[in-house]
Structure 1
Amino acid sequence: MTYLIYSVTLFVLITGTILYLTRSRWEHLLPDLSNGPGSFLYSRLPSSFAADMEAGLSSSTFDLSGNVEGGDGRAGLDDAAKGEILKIMKKRRMRFDEARRVYMEQRFSANGIGADGRPKDPKFVSFS
């Protein structure tokens, strides 16, 4: 039994070493996991309104061009929401407005609010 374990361990070490030393020959055959140049599984969030617009976080109903033209020096949109919306856009292949709607519905649901905007609390009373 120990002979088998030592043989498998030696085989894995030799194979791993050979693969590591020859990676320049076969690395191009692997799928690209990067989101951009130099990044692998991490992509930096935009840090200004202009960068938010370039990342696709703007539309005709959520226009950031006024902020950019006005020279707004703030850091842009909320980082947590921005990250979640970008994730939804990539994962579900949605446009910004649809991803923003899905994000808000998820936030509403997490806080006990229905999709129509009314609280789900059974004690809630509204007068129309």
Structure 2
Amino acid sequence: MFILSGAVSAVIGFTAISNPATTAEALLLLKAVWLVSVGIGQFCLAYLMSGDAESSYSRWSGLVGILYVVTGVSLISNLGDNVEFFIQCVGLCLVSFGMQMIYFGMNLKRLYVDVVALLKERRSKELD
């Protein structure tokens, strides 16, 4: 799953870098909607955690939620301003995230093979 996620992120990132004008408004709108939805979620989480001992985390979560919503709304209201630069930055982030996920996925598969071999070795020792 990590490899697939990384590959999709890298392809979308390369597309955003190579064609910033054609993908700009769609990706900016998607990012803005994501920011608003995550911001609302963060604010709701802060409200639900407000009675817990972790009130400082609750305050930070609420502040981040408000900042996300404000940023998302401002991006939606100014879709045409500096869109190409923003999309190139997003593209670079997606490419780096994609490469990181591919690397992590490959290492995770190798780690799984190593763990399975170790478990088989232990099982054979227990049977002896």
Same fold, TM-score > 0.5, yes or no = no
* Relative contact order, higher structure (CA 8 A, sep 6+): 2
TM-score of the two chains, using structure 1 as the length reference = 0.25
Looking at secondary structure, tell me which structure has more helix per residue: 2
TM-score of the two chains, using structure 2 as the length reference = 0.25
